Amino acid sequence: MTTTLAHAKAVVLAHHAALARAEPSCCFTTLSQHFLPDTLWRGMHPFHEQRGPQAVADAFWSPFLSAMSRVQRRQDVFFAGHNHLDEGGGTWVASMGHLMGLFDAPFLGIQPTRKIAMVRYAEFSRVEGDRIVEQALFVDLLHLMAQAGQYPLPGMTGAQLVQPGPLTHDGLLFDDQDAAVGQATLDRIHAMMDAINLANASATPPVPQDELARDWHDDMIWWGPTGIGATYTIDRYIEQHQRPFRTQLGARTFNGHICRMAEGNYGGFFGWPNLTMECTGPYMGLPPSGRKADMRVVDIYRRDGDKLAENWVFIDMLHFLNMQGLDVLAQLEVRKG
């Protein structure tokens, strides 16, 4: 039986409240309140896939809470939906914002600053009954490195900053929404993806400005992951992300999504991985590797009227780079030594 959106949201909010009270030594107990013994958890490199609350506590939450003191979940977007890709009607809840804390101890070789750190995160949780049976947690580790003055890459085409939530400040959908509004958002996301697929498949693709103007407002904001950065307006998005992405990453294969949903004016998806591509040109300031690599990606969208207005993007950059032979975390350890 399909879980209602309201009930799924209540389960995830209770999970968040429990984590807000958790100490590093009790993360297993905390996670056990809302995880099954075999809950599937997907995390970015170096966490990858874990099964059950003990493995998730050991891999991520206990080390994270040992490094970050007084953590607050500063949530900017919260919505739920029935997965468009699941015939069984799986119910998912999306949460996005920052995990803010005092960076007091090393984390993955990143050296502490004893100052505020804002860790970008996006989380998708599938709920059945009173339990989270599947979850993906994307955290922008390059973003944390940049804040700590330990950014490891030579370049970035967009802007690096702590990213705000929606311009409209209406991204926390705790209450039920009109289903027709959510469907309109999902339809616009589908149209945007169709435009990308058409451009990629065409021998004579449309002019990028024309392609984007179909589905995006001219003053769109693309809140990209650290390594690429954020861009503003269609023209700057093309210059600072789309053109480098399309010209320097070749042989792209779309692998599909695990969840794609919308509620109200917000929607999004994630894949594992979404894309596989070959690094054929210099990208993120790095020389071409000639190797194929996967991109695990989250996209969260805000629709305004008949077009998309904002897009928050998370990519498992460390995994993408690691598949090309660049182990960023190992480099941090070398620099520390």
Tell me if domain 5-147 and domain 179-336 are identical in fold.
yes
pLDDT in tens, 241-294: 999 999 999 988 999 999 999 999 999 999 999 999 999 989 998 999 989 999
Where do runs of H (alpha helix) occur along 33-140?
Answer: 52-56, 62-67
How confident is the model at residue 202, as a pLDDT?
Answer: 76
- Sketch the domain layout of the chain as residue ranges: 5-147, 179-336
**Which residue type occupies 255?**
N
| CA-closest candidate to residue 302, choices 241, 212, 222 | 222
CA distance 45 to 323: 11
3-state secondary structure at position 73:
strand
Residue 2 pLDDT grade (very low, low, confident, very high; cuts 50, 70, 90) = low
Q: Are 272 and 42 in contact (CB under 8 A)?
A: yes
Share of the chain above pLDDT 90, in %: 89
pLDDT in tens, 60-81: 999 999 999 999 999 999 999 9
- 179-336: CATH number: 3.10.450.50
3-state secondary structure at position 91:
strand
Between 12 and 1, the higher pLDDT residue = 12
Q: Are 174 and 9 in contact (CB under 8 A)?
A: yes
Say which range, 167-171, 196-200, 270-274, has the weakest mean pLDDT: 196-200
Residue 337 pLDDT grade (very low, low, confident, very high; cuts 50, 70, 90) = low
Residue 203 pLDDT grade (very low, low, confident, very high; cuts 50, 70, 90) = confident
Q: How does DSSP assign 168-182, residue by residue?
A: TS--B--S---HHHH
Token pair for 30: 């905390």
Q: Which residues contact 29 (CB under 8 A, 6 or more apart)?
A: none
As a whole number of Å, the end-to-end CA separation of the chain is 55
Identify any residues that bridge with 99 across adjacent strands, giving them in sequence order: 73, 119
By DSSP bridging, strand 131-139 and strand 35-43 are parallel
pLDDT in tens, 80-119: 999 999 877 799 999 999 999 999 999 999 999 999 999 9
DSSP 242: I
The class level of CATH for 5-147 reads alpha beta
Q: Are 299 and 22 in contact (CB under 8 A)?
A: no
Q: Are 175 and 311 in contact (CB under 8 A)?
A: no
